[in-house]
């Protein structure tokens, strides 16, 4: 069983993250899904970015940090899109993270990343939030630092392909993603 902190996208804490957390719980994991926007949600990316501006990145990170209080050092850090940015921000403070899961976006490895850490990236291809050069840089950094990185690209799907409530949803790619995530966590 893993302890998992799942950080939501720029659209806020919505059914997509709650359903993902429930799926992980049914597999035997403990999952928290902190509401980084204090109950507010957005319908579009533009509204989401405005929401981040209104709430403030410092408040978002503070709420995420508070959600991690009392969780084991070996908690899995997981982020969905903007949530990957939250993971990237907190990762240096959590060098004992059991694993790191990046959904729909990429992040840079922190200087404190430990060799052997398992990291998994799932992203659409193409996707403006995971351009090839960023993925290549992540892969290169992982090789240089002996990080166990798996990258899964899903051709022809939209950015939020795992979210059944959005037009980007691709049921087959979403199912494959969650099967791979469950294998990664076991």
Per-residue confidence (pLDDT) for residue 80, from 0 to 100 = 98
pLDDT < 50 stretches in the chain: none
What is the pLDDT, as a whole number, of residue 134?
Answer: 97
pLDDT at 81: 98
Q: What is the DSSP string of 139-166?
A: HHHHHHTT-EEEEEEEET--TTTT-TTS
Is the whole model's pTM more than 0.95, yes or no? yes
* Residue 60 tokens, joined: 């978002």
Those residues whose C-beta lies under 8 Å from the C-beta of residue 180, and which sit 6 or more positions away, are: 120, 122, 150, 152
Which pLDDT value is given to residue 15? 96
32 and 71 in contact (C-beta within 8 Å)? yes
pLDDT value of position 162: 97
Predicted confidence at residue 157, as pLDDT, reads 97
In 3D space, the residue among 42, 43, 119 whose CA is nearest the CA of residue 77 turns out to be 119
Cα dihedral 140→179→75→17 (10° resolution): 100
Residue 115, both tokens: 């060799």
* Cα–Cα distances in angstroms (integers) from residue 61 to residues 87, 105, 114, 143, 186, in the given order: 9, 17, 22, 29, 28
Coil, strand or helix at 122:
strand
The whole-number pLDDT of residue 56 equals 97
């Amino acid at each position: 069983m893993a302890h998992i902190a799942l950080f939501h996208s720029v659209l806020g804490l919505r059914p997509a993250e709650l359903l993902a957390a429930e799926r992980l719980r049914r597999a035997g994991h403990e999952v928290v899904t902190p509401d980084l926007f204090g109950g507010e949600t957005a319908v579009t990316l533009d509204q989401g970015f405005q929401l981040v501006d209104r709430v403030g990145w410092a408040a978002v990170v503070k709420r995420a940090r508070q959600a991690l209080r009392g969780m084991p050092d070996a908690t899995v850090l997981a982020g969905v899109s903007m949530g990957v940015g939250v993971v990237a921000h907190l990762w240096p403070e959590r060098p004992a993270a059991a694993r790191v899961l990046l959904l729909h976006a990429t992040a840079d490895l922190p200087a404190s990343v430990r060799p052997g850490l398992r990291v998994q990236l799932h992203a659409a291809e193409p996707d403006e939030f995971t351009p090839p050069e960023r993925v290549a840089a992540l892969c290169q950094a992982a090789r240089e630092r002996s990080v166990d990185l798996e990258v899964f690209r899903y051709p022809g799907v939209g950015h939020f392909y795992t979210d059944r409530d959005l037009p980007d949803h691709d049921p087959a790619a979403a199912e494959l993603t969650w099967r791979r995530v469950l294998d990664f966590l076991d």
